Structure 1
Amino acid sequence: MQYNRIHGINIAVRDLDQWTRRFEEVFEVRSSPVDESGFAFPGLRGSSFDIGGFHLNLIASEADPTSVSRFLDRRGEGVFLLSVGVEDVEEATRELRESGLTPILEKPVRGDGHAGVNFTHPRDMAGVQLEFIEVPR
């Protein structure tokens, strides 16, 4: 599988506005809002920070149940997933299955606000959900 790079991390938060302000202050960079169309699943909104090409995203759940709301209930705020750039998300999904990992989605999802994405189940990677996102080189 061709990995482009570690694309970024997503951090689950309860109060998106509070944490967006805090991260803007600390990193001295403005965030870009991400509405529901920017996610593979409905009910989420977020803030995205481009920090030298690394994407740090804060994600909040606007509805129940979402994977983010379940994560927050079980673990509290914190790192929700690690995002890995791949050249071809369809190929990456096939290779995940062949290596014994469990993709969350049968087929990768493509949408208005994002490239093709798929995810591994956290139990396959020491409790960390991996996102494989199609990112051009």
Structure 2
Amino acid sequence: MQVNGIHGINIAVKDLDQWTRRYEEIFGLEAKPVDESGFAFPGLRGSNFDIGGFQLNLIASVDEGTSVSRFLERRGEGVFLVSVGVQDVDVATRELQESGLTPVLGEPARGEGHAAVNFTHPRDMAGVQLEFIEVPR
């Protein structure tokens, strides 16, 4: 699979406002708010920091049934996923399956507020969920 690079990291947090202020203070940057339309799945909101083209996202759940809320219950706050850029997420999904990995979605998610994405199950990658995001070169 051809990966363009590490696109970013998503960090799951319980209190988005508290942690956004803290990261803004430490990095000297202003976060861009991300509403539910900016995520492949509903029930999430976040703050995005563009650090020289690297995306650091703080994400919080506004609904109890999301994967982020389950992650926070099981593991607490911390790195939720690593996002890698690919040229074509459909090709990446097929290659994941051919490699014996389990894509979370049968077909990549596409939407107005976000790029086309798919994910690996964390058990396939030593407990780390990978997001494959379509980032053309």
Q: Once the 2 structures are TM-superposed, how far is the Cα of residue 37 of structure 1 from its aligned partner?
A: 0.4
How does 1:1-137 map onto structure 2 within 5 Å? 1-137=1-137
Q: State the AA in 2 paired with 1:125.
A: M
Aligned length: 137
- How far apart, CA to CA, are the structure 2 residues paired with 1:72 and 1:87? 31
What CA deviation, in whole Å up to 9, does each residue of 1:60-106 have, x standing for no partner?
00001100000000000000000000000000000000001000000
Identity across matched positions, percent? 80
- How far apart, CA to CA, are the structure 1 residues paired with 2:118 and 2:93? 7
Q: Which TM-score applies when normalising by structure 1?
A: 0.99
Which runs of 5 or more residues in structure 1 are unaligned? none
Q: State the AA in 1 paired with 2:91.
A: E
Q: Which TM-score applies when normalising by structure 2?
A: 0.99
RMSD over aligned Cα, in angstroms? Answer: 0.5
- How far apart, CA to CA, are the structure 1 residues paired with 2:21 and 2:61? 18
4+ long deviations beyond 4 Å: none
Q: Once the 2 structures are TM-superposed, how far is the Cα of residue 55 of structure 1 from its aligned partner?
A: 0.3
Which runs of 5 or more residues in structure 2 are unaligned? none
